[in-house]
Structure 1
Amino acid sequence: MPLEASARIVSELTTRGYNAEREAVTKLAAAEDPHAALERVLENVPDDVLVVRADHVAAALPADGTGTAARSDAPADSESTPSTSTGTDATPGRESTESSPVETEGSSHVDRAADPDLRSLEIIGDMTGQSTGTGEYEDFVSVFRDRLDRLGSKLRGRVNHRPASAIEDMPGGSDVAMVGLVNDIRSTASGHWLIELEDATGTFPWLVMKDREYVDLVDELLCDEVLAMEGTLADDSGIAFVDSMYFPDVPRTYEPSTADRHVQAALISDVHVGSEEFMADAWDRFADWLHTDQARHVEYLLIGGDMVEGVGVYPDQDEELDIVDIYEQYEAFNEHLKKVPGDLEIVMIPGNHDAVRLAEPQPGFDEELREIMSAHDPRIVSNPSTVTIEGVSVLMYHGVSLDEVIAELPEEKASYDDPHKAMYQLLKKRHVAPQFGGHTRLAPEEEDYLVMEEVPDIFHTGHVHKLGFGKYHNVLAINSGCWQAQTDFQKSVNIDPDAGYAPIVDLDTLDVTVQKFS
């Protein structure tokens, strides 16, 4: 089945105010004359239908599927206005109480679709099916060496790097520089800071004096991140006094890419279907809005994890579940996904509530769950992954490490009220989860999939259920909130969620508007 034929069928259906099941689109695209088949189906669907289903196609087309059978005596007027789609699936056998459906407030007949050939979507860094780690010691050595090699290469050109073993043999008073992983951070009795850097040859201590202007940077450090330091060896060569320190960072002169046309992407996360606090009404309003003329330029939907509430994620979670079976949760999520327009390009990554391994990177869902979540044929990739949309790169990461960043750093540099500032720290470190051994679980692989090898144009996270966005060195950072009202567990840990919001990004300008549906 040609992708272009399917896209044009979806586009035509949406133009006429209909949504469609994927199987219905497949059947239409397989017809000898898809356009004639589509016209035949639309002539025969009941007036109250909003979603064209596979059974409508089967009932309307002749057995050979050509769509060229004799038409009914009362053909539909091609100029008449069709029913406005709200994205709500019509229940088979349900009787309409009116001759035509009631339009959702603000909904309208919308032609979303630019030529499908103008769209482009490429996935980079999807490690689904690529996992090689076995949990052995050597695997952890491998992943940290890869991290040091790749991020260290961004720093070695800025300092005259020497390995730890070579620095130990240099005479006192020498100017030295080293690139390494932060192995330890501790304060001295005098109020100075001792930073221990580690590379493949060993470790070496660096002393940051409390009266130096850059001492505030120590507050930003996390263990296991990659750092460069320059300074002077003490007389006994046993320690170096720090003169400057460098992060891999995003260049201040970074210029993001933008799309060549006016096109938008909706960035959402943390839907949490299955929770008693899932905001179904807000989701329905969001889905309805996507069918309106106001949303006609929204052609991409990126979902940053936690599609469902999951099972056994936190103590006594079962008491807050509306759906207790994990597969039924995903089936319910798929029904809600059907409500959004079928001509959107959808990309999804998992989160810590989803039925995948907790250790990061998280592979995309298994085949059984992919089959369940098949509405509109979404692209399902690993956490993290980079999605390049019409030239604009979007780093999608669910965001578990934000908890650690917020816990470790001063409030003015990272907080739940301003989650994008915690994201700035990850951009500065060029790694989505630098600290190992805390809240964020790490799966050892041959390479570190959590490194930001290339600077993204947009950095999208969720997890903390707070809305926040801003720019760091011209990179747009967005934490997109959630679709779950406050749970008892969230009350116990003082989390007041920002629920029912959808940040919309203009890909041609990287401007953001926020639509509220709660």
Structure 2
Amino acid sequence: MNEPSELISAFIGKNMFVTPGFAEKVCRENETGTILSALASVQRCATPVLLNEELFKSMFSAALSAGKASACIPCVSIVESYSELPQKREVAHFVRHYRARYESIKNVLMNRPDLQGSVSIKRALERKTMDRLSLIGMVLDKYETKNGNFSLLLEDTTGTIRAVIKSDKKNAFTTAKEITMDEVIGVTGSCNGNVIFVNDLILPDLPIMEFKKCPEDVSVAFISDMHVGSKMFLKDEFAKFITWINGDIGSEEQKSEILKIKYLFIIGDLVDGIGIYPEQDNELEIKDIIQQYDECAKYLTQIRKDITLIICGGNHDALRLSEPQPVLDKRYAQSIYSLPNAIFVSNPATVNIHAGKGFPGFNVLMYHGYSFDYYIANVESIRLNGGYDRSDLVMKHLLQKRHLSPTHSSTLYIPDEKRDPLVISKAPDFFITGHIHKTSVCNYKSTTMISGSCWQSKTAFQEKVGHNPEPARVPIVNLKTRDIRIVKFAA
């Protein structure tokens, strides 16, 4: 068989494309069998990749020098990205939306041993004696009694019941302090009339899972909140980041580590937007939204093409505020869509990266974080233990609730009647956010939580509300070891 044709066919099978001239050049300069062996162990690319000489060398240099199949091709598959078309919403949509949420989280809670025999609220109210029982409900009301106890009004599809958590039930009482409206929780206790006296409160929370590690020595980087178009956009620092991630600075050892980065997540707020907060126009260098995206594209196109960019929107992007936000709007961000190595998803979204033969890959939950403001203000343990400096506490709180914005007023949202897209239906390997403008890295159970930094110095609005950003910091995760380091690009 003609070697160039064989190579072209093999590349096409992996959704990679080369010109016949380039294929002939590769066959002349390299051992074709080695390249075919390397390709055989590579997962098919989620989006078409045009393979040029620079990209080919970046992907296959290790395999060619070692004479074995060790090429690393980025692999991204979209697990969940919201794409429903806009429609008129009525009260009935909200009712069905909350029912869908209740059923989704109820199914999670039913896996807990203490709740597998749960009864409906209607059945609980029919009990004539102080029987021990368990049930699952959505929090309709909460207050602290004059005796220092907590009282919750719980609701399911059959009725409502009052749940009392006494202060001497230490664990349940501590959990009750963190409860906010509209969460779905489980309770165990004794029912007396129309009241259940709670022994334990059970959150959906994350299960214990394997702390996955990838067999290949590959890294992933995370950034957010670029805010291109703002006068406070840190051009020099972002240019330094681009030079760094392209491997153009540093020792040979450092460059070798940098070139292991094959994925770059961008978690919203690519541009500063227009009319986002009062008197924003006084702080804009670019006052046209299309030109803001054009300028952003000029930066992102400089990043080496063997890195896959995974991009979602944020509250400053040219999108509706209601969540889930769709993918970036092509009417305004056409220049971003011209990037050949970019994948676009909704906010929130879940993507899987680096799956391969015998390895399931990593599920990455992306959420910009617009609901964070509410929980920082309204959850005492977050507010009193760092607030905006501790985005990890907010992320842990939401993972425990298995919802990105459980309280009705914590964010604007679309009342999808089929499902609640903000439910965390599956435990992620990574939970990645932005919005707070401060980097935070922490593990909770088997999930690595990462909050992105920003590329904007402090604005007058941030100063007014007491935000203290820490810009130009990039978390890097080695997927083989799960080691994390934060690279700083600001002086």
User: Offset at 1:412?
Assistant: 5.0
User: Which structure shows the bigger proportion of residues in helix conformation?
Assistant: 2
Structure 2 distance, partners of 1:427, 1:134, is 31
User: Offset at 1:377?
Assistant: 3.6
Specify whether residues 198 and 302 from structure 1 end up closer, same or farther in structure 2 by C-alpha distance, changes over 3 A only.
Answer: same
Amino acid at match of 1:385: A
Deviations 1:3-47 (A, max 9, x none): x97x99xxxxxxxxxxxxxxxxx9xx6744235799xxxxxxxxx
Larger Rg: 1
Alignment match, 2:313: 350
Picking from 188, 213, 216, the partner of 2:174 is: 216
Picking from 231, 234, 243, the partner of 1:288 is: 243
Amino acid at match of 2:147: S
Q: Does 1:380 align with 2:373?
A: no
Alignment match, 1:318: 281
Determine helix, strand or coil for the equivalent of 1:144: helix
TM-score (norm 2): 0.82
User: Offset at 1:116?
Assistant: 6.2
Deviations 1:35-61 (A, max 9, x none): 5799xxxxxxxxxxxxxxxxxxxxxxx
Deviations 1:160-193 (A, max 9, x none): 3121222222114122321111111111121111
Q: Does 1:365 align with 2:328?
A: yes
Structure 2 distance, partners of 1:134, 1:117, is 46
Determine helix, strand or coil for the equivalent of 2:321: coil
Verify the 8 A CA contact 1:133 1:444 in the aligned structure 2: no
TM-score (norm 1): 0.77
Structure 2: segments with no counterpart, 5+ residues:
27-52, 63-69, 248-254, 355-360
Q: Does 1:197 align with 2:185?
A: no
Structure 1 distance, partners of 2:333, 2:463, is 33
Structure 2 distance, partners of 1:514, 1:264, is 13
Verify the 8 A CA contact 2:315 2:321 in the aligned structure 1: yes
Q: Does 1:262 align with 2:232?
A: no
Q: Does 1:34 align with 2:5?
A: no
Structure 1 distance, partners of 2:293, 2:188, is 52
Determine helix, strand or coil for the equivalent of 2:326: coil
Structure 2 distance, partners of 1:188, 1:460, is 38
Alignment match, 1:148: 102
Deviations 1:126-168 (A, max 9, x none): 112x246532112111221111111101212431312122222
Alignment of 1:422-437 (within 5 A): 422-437=394-409
User: Offset at 1:340?
Assistant: 1.2
Determine helix, strand or coil for the equivalent of 1:154: helix
Deviations 1:55-84 (A, max 9, x none): xxxxxxxxxxxxxxxxxxxxxxx9xxx9xx
Alignment of 1:72-111 (within 5 A): 111=58
Determine helix, strand or coil for the equivalent of 2:389: coil
Verify the 8 A CA contact 1:112 1:296 in the aligned structure 2: no
Alignment match, 1:501: 473
Amino acid at match of 2:99: R
Alignment match, 2:184: 226
Structure 2 distance, partners of 1:421, 1:495, is 17
Alignment match, 2:34: none
Determine helix, strand or coil for the equivalent of 1:230: strand
Structure 2 distance, partners of 1:250, 1:30, is 44
Amino acid at match of 2:106: G
Structure 2 distance, partners of 1:256, 1:404, is 30
Structure 2 distance, partners of 1:270, 1:162, is 46
Alignment of 1:112-127 (within 5 A): 118-127=73-82
Alignment match, 1:478: 450
Determine helix, strand or coil for the equivalent of 1:33: helix
Alignment match, 1:421: 393
Specify whether residues 377 and 261 from structure 1 end up closer, same or farther in structure 2 by C-alpha distance, changes over 3 A only.
Answer: closer
Specify whether residues 460 and 320 from structure 1 end up closer, same or farther in structure 2 by C-alpha distance, changes over 3 A only.
Answer: same
Specify whether residues 467 and 460 from structure 1 end up closer, same or farther in structure 2 by C-alpha distance, changes over 3 A only.
Answer: same
Picking from 430, 446, 459, the partner of 1:487 is: 459
Verify the 8 A CA contact 1:347 1:381 in the aligned structure 2: yes
Query: CA RMSD, aligned part only?
Result: 2.7
Verify the 8 A CA contact 1:370 1:380 in the aligned structure 2: no
Q: Does 1:330 align with 2:293?
A: yes
Amino acid at match of 1:289: W
Verify the 8 A CA contact 2:77 2:352 in the aligned structure 1: yes
Verify the 8 A CA contact 1:284 1:339 in the aligned structure 2: no
Structure 2 distance, partners of 1:146, 1:313, is 32
Verify the 8 A CA contact 1:462 1:481 in the aligned structure 2: yes
Q: Does 1:137 align with 2:91?
A: yes
Alignment match, 1:443: 414
Structure 2 distance, partners of 1:422, 1:366, is 29
Specify whether residues 276 and 37 from structure 1 end up closer, same or farther in structure 2 by C-alpha distance, changes over 3 A only.
Answer: farther
Determine helix, strand or coil for the equivalent of 1:278: coil
Verify the 8 A CA contact 1:405 1:414 in the aligned structure 2: no
Alignment match, 2:440: 468
Alignment match, 1:399: 369
Deviations 1:324-364 (A, max 9, x none): 11111011110111121122111000001111111111111
Picking from 378, 389, 393, the partner of 2:353 is: 389
Structure 2 distance, partners of 1:450, 1:279, is 32
Q: Which consecutive aligned stretches of 4+ in structure 1 deviate over 6 angstroms post-superposition?
A: 114-117
Q: Does 1:277 align with 2:232?
A: yes
Picking from 192, 201, 205, the partner of 1:245 is: 201
Q: Does 1:184 align with 2:138?
A: no
Deviations 1:396-441 (A, max 9, x none): 1101111111111123567211211210111111111111123x11
Structure 1 distance, partners of 2:318, 2:444, is 33
Structure 2 distance, partners of 1:476, 1:278, is 28
Verify the 8 A CA contact 2:270 2:313 in the aligned structure 1: yes
Deviations 1:210-253 (A, max 9, x none): 2221211112112111100111123xx021111001011112x3
Determine helix, strand or coil for the equivalent of 2:286: coil
User: Offset at 1:483?
Assistant: 0.8
Structure 1: segments with no counterpart, 5+ residues:
9-25, 39-77, 83-109
Verify the 8 A CA contact 2:306 2:341 in the aligned structure 1: no
Amino acid at match of 1:296: L
User: Offset at 1:394?
Assistant: 0.8
Amino acid at match of 1:260: P
Amino acid at match of 1:223: M
Structure 2 distance, partners of 1:332, 1:283, is 13
Determine helix, strand or coil for the equivalent of 2:397: helix
Verify the 8 A CA contact 1:414 1:422 in the aligned structure 2: no
Q: How many residues align?
A: 427
Alignment match, 1:164: 121
